[in-house]
Amino acid sequence: MRKEKKKPNIAINILINIFIPVIILSKGGTFFNHNASITLIIALLFPIVYGIYGIISTGKFNFLSGLGLISILLTGGIGLLKLPNQWIIIKETSIPLIIFLLVLISTKSKYPIIKPLINEIINIEKINKSYNNKKNTNNFENKIETVSFLMAGIFLISAILNFILSTLILKSPPGTLDYNTELAKLTALSLPIIGTASMILFIAIIIYLIIDITKKTNLELEEFLR
């Protein structure tokens, strides 16, 4: 019997990657002798260690996991080196922008980045067979390409929202407690604003895909939904 893959715990993920760093960045200065650098290091240690643990425990290292760790390390590096806060704004904007470009470029390749993600939700192999059996000229692979373009748009919107939020919030120079507090605010607002907007768009795209599948195949929802 094949061992079922362990699913990540979303609550723990949010707790370690968002809530704990936000609390430490906001209030940690009081406990660490008002040392902004130590506060920043301790706050970022939680998502860094958790990210490395996730890679080791699953035995998988993908590009997005690596990019997430690099993003956290850059945040720490900019704060510790006390670089101008424009650098953190560039970092916040460039990460989703890089993903947008990679998704867009990969869409026309043999290995679209979005395809494995979609395959986690629906059974692509079964759907492909059903499309071909019904002799649809617009086969499922073409639909995947359309969905990939739409998914790329989500990352572009995220980049724009990241730029707006970070520009409005980050005013203090890195290496100060005020900067840490602003970074905490940015992290706290990213989930309800950017995360929620991205999730709504993602769900809308998946619903669009499911509607198309049910129209062009004989499959019921429970037959192709994982």
Q: Which two tokens stand for residue 48?
A: 């860094």
Model's pTM, two decimal places?
Answer: 0.82
Q: What is the pLDDT of residues 174-193, one digit of tens each?
A: 888 899 999 999 999 988 89
pLDDT bracket for residue 157 (50, 70, 90): very high
Residue with more model confidence, 32 or 16: 16
Element spanning 33, H or E: none
Domain ranges of the chain: 10-224
Rounded Cα–Cα distance for residues 197 and 200 (Å): 5
Q: What is the pLDDT of residues 33-86, one digit of tens each?
A: 778 888 899 999 999 998 888 878 877 766 667 777 888 888 889 988 888 889
Rounded Cα–Cα distance for residues 182 and 21 (Å): 12
Q: What is the pLDDT of residues 96-143, one digit of tens each?
A: 999 999 999 988 887 788 888 888 888 888 887 777 665 655 577 788
pLDDT bracket for residue 213 (50, 70, 90): confident
The amino acid sitting at 145 is E
Q: Which two tokens stand for residue 95?
A: 């990460």
pLDDT bracket for residue 2 (50, 70, 90): very low
Q: Tokens 């704060």 identify what position?
A: 79
CB burial of 202-218 (b: ≥16 within 10 Å; e: otherwise) equals eeebbeebeebbeebbe
Rounded Cα–Cα distance for residues 13 and 212 (Å): 33
pLDDT of residue 63: 67
